Amino acid sequence: MAIDKPDSFYTAASGSLGWTLPASVGVALAEQEKGNPRPVVVAIGDGSFQYSIQGLWTAVQHQLPILFIVPCNAQYSILKAFAVLEETPNVPGLDIPGLDFTSLAKGYGATGAHAETLEAIQEECKKALTRKGPTVLSVPISHTVPPLL
């Protein structure tokens, strides 16, 4: 995806845990305030989503057009990668199996969807970008923890 327009890409230098979901809500609120409620698209891992899931409630209450694409690997992969880098592998509590993001989304009042193929992902994204209010799209990914270095 080309980032060729000012004010169209946001990130944190120190990582996304606990930042990405509420930051996206803030961006969407700012867009709404400016009278330009353009959709906000967010890629946020299943582990990171858990750090600040309550921000989804705010997105629902304000009917913010946010698409949360959640790559699901049932773990805090970045924390596992840091543990390996720091030579402290097998840290307990970093596996988070069984989370149902479609149900979590619906529980907060958002639209929830799940897609496993490229075509299904594209279709769900098209629907989400025309919908009022937030959408949470879960997409299963590999459980492999890539090295940081």
* Residue that is written with structure tokens 């989503």 in the block: 49
What is the DSSP code (8-state) at residue 74?
S
Local structure of 68: helix, strand or coil: strand
Q: Determine the pLDDT at residue 128.
A: 96
Q: Spelled out in words, what is the top-level CATH class assigned to the domain 20-115+130-140?
A: alpha beta
Q: If you average pLDDT over every residue of the chain, what do you get?
A: 92
Extents of the domains making up the chain: 20-115+130-140
Nearest in space to 97 (alpha carbons), one of 46, 52, 138: 46
pLDDT reading at 98 higher than 90: yes
122 Cβ neighbours under 8 A, 6+ residues apart? none
The CA distance from 133 to 71, in Å, is 20
